[in-house]
Amino acid sequence: MLKKNIKLMNITAFCLVILVGCSGEMIKNQIVFVGIDYTTSADTFENGNTDKIKNIVIGVSENLKNSDVLEIHPIHAFTETGIMGKRTAPKLEGNLRDNKIQQQWLEHDIKPFLDEVMSYKFDNYSLAGTNIYPIANKLRNRVEQGYKVSCYIFCDLNQEYDGEDFHEIFDGLKDPIEYASMKVQSLNISDALHGVDIKIFVPGTPEGSQTQENVRRNIKKFWKEFFRLCGSKVTIEDL
């Protein structure tokens, strides 16, 4: 009888471990990671793009709850060390008050935060280049921290930092697919972003961009392949 009880206790404990593990996976917190290009070469704040970005971020924030996180980072010369800030979603009660709690958070926290983010003025040193690669490093950190990560990038996608200029590289000088493979290997980030959904929105104007006209297609090819090799699902579209 004693052996039977011990066996039953062991089975019960094993089942509890499995249940706790499964529930832990189910309640993994989400993080919405937003990267915004502030450099003067991008059309981020032209042609009503500011409001478009705000609307997209507010829309995805509506799905955050129970300590999920909205995190916004600048894209400029010092992307690795720059951050605009974070906001944590409120705990919901599981009743009719939840909608009111969520709407209050959006109105009194998220919208004022976005107003600050979109009106921030950087110095000329920060705006002197565009370094996009650190976004991948930051996303890897969030994955390693156990978050379920989705990423929204608003950027013209032109890497222009430390002697590397995509306007020159992809104007017939390099193959974008081969170059993406080389960069992923050099950054040691292959498959490090598995499960991360990345949506990239390229801001523009009705006039278009003379400097981007001949290279935009190859730049898009590069980033699609880059993030694919990182293990991500990625889409690129005009804002």
3-class secondary structure per residue, 160-202:
EECCEEHHHHCCCCCCHHHHHHHHHHHHCCCCCCCCCEEEEEE
Mean pLDDT to the nearest integer, 47-72? 95
Considering the chain, what is the average pLDDT of its residues?
A: 88
The residue ranking higher by pLDDT, 9 or 97, is 97
Q: What is the pLDDT of residues 110-167, one digit of tens each?
A: 999 999 999 999 999 999 999 999 999 999 999 999 999 999 999 999 999 998 899 8
Mean pLDDT to the nearest integer, 202-212? 83
Task: Look at the chain and report how many structural domains it folds into.
Answer: 1
Residue 35 placed within a domain: yes
Query: What does pTM read for this prediction?
Result: 0.86
Confidence of residue 176 (pLDDT cuts 50, 70, 90): very high
Residue 159 placed within a domain: yes
pLDDT value of residue 74: 97
pLDDT value of residue 6: 43
Q: What is the CATH number of the domain that holds 200?
A: 3.40.50
Q: Which domain holds residue 57?
A: 27-238
pLDDT value of residue 59: 96
Residue 53 neighbours by CB distance under 10 Å: 22
Task: For strands 69-75 and 85-88, give the pairing.
Answer: antiparallel
